[in-house]
Amino acid sequence: MLTCQIDFAKKSKEGEEICGDSICIKRDQNKVAVSVSDGLGSGVKASILSTLTTSMATTMLFNGVPVDEVFSSILATLPVCKIRGISYANLCSVVFDAQDSTCSIVEYEFPVTLYFRNKNLINLERRMAIVEAREISISKITPLEGDLIFITTDGVSQAGMGTENFPLGFGLKNIIREINVLLQNNISPKNIVEHLIKLARKLDRGTRGDDALAAVVQFKKLQVINLFVGPPQDRSKDEELVKSFMHKDGKKVVCGGTTAQIFEKVLKRKVELDLRSFCEDLPPIGKMEGIDLVTEGIVTLTHVFRYLSGQQERLVYGANALAEMLLEADQVNFFVGRAINPAHQNPLFSHDISLKFRLIHDIAQILKENGKIVNLEYF
């Protein structure tokens, strides 16, 4: 089944802590909806307006509300700048229905939406519609595996405005040229959007600049990862749960030394430690037939959480391998044992709250915010 991987990067205007450009993603196995909006101005006010816009659009489109009703509600809600006569936020929404492999792209006063197939730019056939006396464009496509939709706010297209090299800003043609060169050199879509934001930040040095957000929707086959974390509360269910886990579709990861021992006992297979992966911060990773990755538990998950939450810039070995698998996956299924290790308790909280549960919850939340389908099952 075809699905979408969504990656994005953004920057705030210099002097502002909050980015005025927003993205909102909702998805399940059958549908993906993503919206990007640029709030007029910058900072908190712009962020509130763009967040309201993306949340309304994504939620309504994901639930099958007709486009004209969605935009009628949004346009009736958004204020209009009395001086410039423009809305306080623009919008681009992409909705993909995996059941019939159709994709709709809806734009309202949006600067850059680019569709690539086989590394070549494809012109979107836009149909214009009038909603609440304002013009929106609607494109319908039937995407193939590998197709890409790049969406950027004007913080990218207008980056460097007023400078000697780009008096009118970086511009659409340069964005297209930049993406083309990177695609031809096999740079990943995720790295491309990160590059565009780094470039905008560089071009804006010494200027007032603006908020900027770049996103990419990549059409690909659904990738699933299953994580078995911690032993079950009821030891008598070890064999049943391990065998059930082994029949799951997708990649498989086992986290925790005790958990790995349970898999060894039930499957009658040995975990072979990769001593080359041993380092000061993390225990070595392991290999087992039928399992894609075996890692230590709490310490590894802590490093992964810190990386995903932006508290840590680099990872090594097991933590790096696990983080990469999580970020590449479209669906992440956590199977979490309720057995509590007293060594993992935080003395500031009651004894029955496990650090493991907190870490899994926080990692799952970050993955959801990044557009992943996340399922948690406790036993």
pLDDT digits (tens, 9 = 90+) for 96-107: 999 999 999 999
Most confident listed range (40-44, 246-250, 349-353):
246-250
| Residue 240: partners with Cβ closer than 8 Å, 6 or more residues away | none
Residue 80: pLDDT above 90? no
pLDDT digits (tens, 9 = 90+) for 241-288: 999 999 999 999 999 999 999 999 999 999 988 877 767 777 788 899
| Residue 336: partners with Cβ closer than 8 Å, 6 or more residues away | 229, 230, 356, 357, 360, 376, 377, 378, 379
CB atoms within 10 A of CB 145: 10
Residue 127: pLDDT above 70? yes
Contact (Cβ atoms closer than 8 angstroms) between residue 329 and residue 221: no
Rounded CA separation 80/91 (Å): 14
> What is the layout of strands, in order, in the sheet containing 148-152?
2-11, 212-221, 148-152, 112-117, 120-122
pLDDT digits (tens, 9 = 90+) for 159-203: 999 998 999 999 999 999 999 999 999 999 999 999 999 999 999
Task: Enter the tokens of residue 111.
Answer: 């600067």
Beta bridge partners of 205: none
Predicted local confidence at residue 316, as pLDDT: 82
Predicted local confidence at residue 292, as pLDDT: 95
Task: Enter the tokens of residue 144.
Answer: 């193939």
Task: Enter the tokens of residue 185.
Answer: 């050199």
Predicted local confidence at residue 276, as pLDDT: 75
Rounded CA separation 232/364 (Å): 20
Residue 351: pLDDT above 50? no
Residue 347: pLDDT above 80? no
Residue 81: pLDDT above 70? no
Please report how many Cα atoms fall inside a 13 Å half-sphere around the Cα of residue 150, on the Cβ side. Answer: 33
Band of pLDDT at residue 86, cut at 50, 70 and 90: low
Predicted local confidence at residue 350, as pLDDT: 43
Predicted local confidence at residue 346, as pLDDT: 53
Q: Is the full-model pTM beyond 0.95? A: no
Distance of CA 99 to the CA centre of its chain: 22
Band of pLDDT at residue 87, cut at 50, 70 and 90: low
Rounded CA separation 285/359 (Å): 19
Residue 307: pLDDT above 90? yes
CATH class of 2-221: alpha beta
Nearest to 369 by CA among 293, 318, 310: 310
Beta bridge partners of 377: 335
Proportion of the chain above pLDDT 90, given as a percent: 70
Sequence spans of domains, the chain: 2-221, 224-378
Residue 353: pLDDT above 70? no
